Amino acid sequence: MNIKEIVDEIVDTCRTNDPITIARKYNINVFYRDLGNIKGFFKTINNIKFIAINDNLSEFMEKMVLSHELGHAFLHDDDAIEFKENFINASSLLEKEANIFAAYLLFGYLNEEEDEYFMVDEEEEKIYRYLKGLLK
C-alpha cells in the first residue's frame, strides 16, 4: 500500500482528516511540552505509542507537526525520530515519507477556498506550498 492509500484508509476509518481525532481513534497518546528546538517526536514504549509536540508552536505548525509525527506512527512504527529539521529541507527518507503523509492528510481533501485558511505567515506559507507540491 502506498502512502496515499494508507492516509485514505485512515481518513475513511476515522471519517475525518483531523490529526487529533485520528490520534485518539488509534490510541496514540499526544502530549505537549516545551521541547526546546525540537518540534515534536514519535516514540513507542512497551507497545504504547506517544507523540510529543512542542507547546511553543503556532496552531498551524502544531497541526503540521502532529500530522508529520502521525506519519511516523503509521509508516515507521519502530523508529523514534526527533523532528528538528524544517519541513522543506528534510533530508532522510523517513522524514520525507512523514512529510508526504502529512501533506496527504492535511491537504489531500481541501478545495481551493479552504486552501486560503493555511496562508498564515511567510514561513508557514513556504511550508504549505512545499507540502502541497508533494501531492502532485
Q: Please name every residue paired with 32 in a beta bridge, in sequence order, or none if there are none.
A: 53
Number of structural domains found in the chain = 1
61-85: string of b/e by CB count within 10 Å (b at 16+)? Answer: bbbbbbbbbbbbbbbbeeeebebee
The domain in which residue 112 lies consists of: 3-133
pTM: 0.80
Report phi then psi at 57, rounded to 5: -90, 155
pLDDT for 133: 74
CATH number at residue 21: 1.10.10.2910
Band (18; pLDDT cuts 50, 70, 90): very high
Closest CA to 69 of 136, 22, 121: 22
